[in-house]
Amino acid sequence: MNSQPLVSIVLPTYNGSRYLRESIESCIAQTYARWELIIVDDKSTDSTPTIAEEYARRDTRIRVIRHKVNRKLPGALNTGFRATKGDLLTWTSDDNAYEPEALEVMIGHLTAHADVDFVNCDVKLIDEHGNFLKLRNLQPPAHPHDVACLGACFLYRRHVYEALGDYAEDMFLAEDFEYWLRARNRYRVDFLADKSPYRYREHGAALSSRKAEVQLQIARARAKHTSDQRAAKRILEEGLQVASWHFRQGGNYKRAIACAARAVATSPMSYRSWRAFVASSLAGLVQSVMGAFAGMRERTAVSVSEV
- Among 64-68, 128-132, 135-139, which range has the highest average pLDDT? 64-68
pLDDT digits (tens, 9 = 90+) for 246-299: 888 888 889 889 998 999 999 888 888 888 889 888 877 877 776 666 655 655
Kindly list the strands in the beta sheet with 118-121, ordered across the sheet, starting from the edge strand earlier in the chain.
Answer: 62-66, 35-41, 7-13, 88-91, 153-157, 118-121, 189-192
Neighbouring C-beta atoms of residue 216, cutoff 10 Å: 23
Q: Give residues with Cβ within 8 angstroms of 55, minimum separation 6.
A: 24, 28, 39, 62
Is 56 part of any domain? Answer: yes
Is 297 part of any domain? Answer: yes
Name which of 44-58, 205-219, 232-246 the model is least confident about.
205-219
Does residue 119 share a domain with residue 267?
no
Q: Give residues with Cβ within 8 angstroms of 194, minimum separation 6.
A: 122
Is 1 part of any domain? Answer: no
Which of 167, 183, 201 finishes a domain? 201
Torsions phi, psi for 166 (to 5 deg) = -75, 165
Name which of 149-153, 179-183, 233-237 the model is least confident about.
149-153
* Rounded Cα–Cα distance for residues 261 and 273 (Å): 8
pLDDT digits (tens, 9 = 90+) for 116-127: 999 999 999 999
Does pTM surpass 0.95?
no
Is 105 part of any domain? Answer: yes
The answer to whether the Cα torsion of 275, 278, 279, 280 is positive or negative is: positive
Does residue 241 share a domain with residue 111?
no
Which of 170, 201, 232 finishes a domain? 201
Question: The domain spanning residue 213 has which CATH number?
Answer: 1.25.40
Does residue 218 share a domain with residue 189?
no
Does residue 241 share a domain with residue 147?
no
- The residue type of 254 is K
Is 2 part of any domain? Answer: no
Does residue 180 share a domain with residue 32?
yes
Does residue 85 share a domain with residue 155?
yes
Which of 201, 226, 242 finishes a domain? 201
Q: Give residues with Cβ within 8 angstroms of 61, minimum separation 6.
A: 35, 36, 37
Is 256 part of any domain? Answer: yes
Question: The domain spanning residue 68 has which CATH number?
Answer: 3.90.550.10
The answer to whether the Cα torsion of 221, 207, 150, 173 is positive or negative is: positive
What was the pLDDT predicted at 269?
Answer: 84
Is 223 part of any domain? Answer: yes
- Report whether 97 contacts 23 (CB < 8 A): yes
Between 221 and 292, name the one with better pLDDT: 221
* Rounded Cα–Cα distance for residues 53 and 40 (Å): 11
Q: Give residues with Cβ within 8 angstroms of 229, minimum separation 6.
A: none
Does residue 152 share a domain with residue 182?
yes
Does residue 180 share a domain with residue 50?
yes
Does residue 112 share a domain with residue 13?
yes
Does residue 175 share a domain with residue 226?
no
Is 196 part of any domain? Answer: yes
* Range of the structural domain that residue 276 is part of: 208-306
- Residue 165, classified by CB atoms within 10 Å of its CB into exposed (0-12), middle (13-18) or buried (19+), is exposed
Does residue 188 share a domain with residue 153?
yes
Between 230 and 38, name the one with better pLDDT: 38
The torsion angle over the Cα atoms of residues 74, 44, 63 and 110, rounded to 10 degrees, is -40
Domains held by the chain: number: 2
* Rounded Cα–Cα distance for residues 3 and 107 (Å): 13
Mean pLDDT in the chain? Answer: 88
> Is the confidence at residue 8, as pLDDT, over 90?
yes
Instruction: Calculate mean pLDDT across residues 11-25.
Output: 97
Does residue 112 share a domain with residue 79?
yes
Neighbouring C-beta atoms of residue 22, cutoff 10 Å: 15
* Rounded Cα–Cα distance for residues 190 and 154 (Å): 10
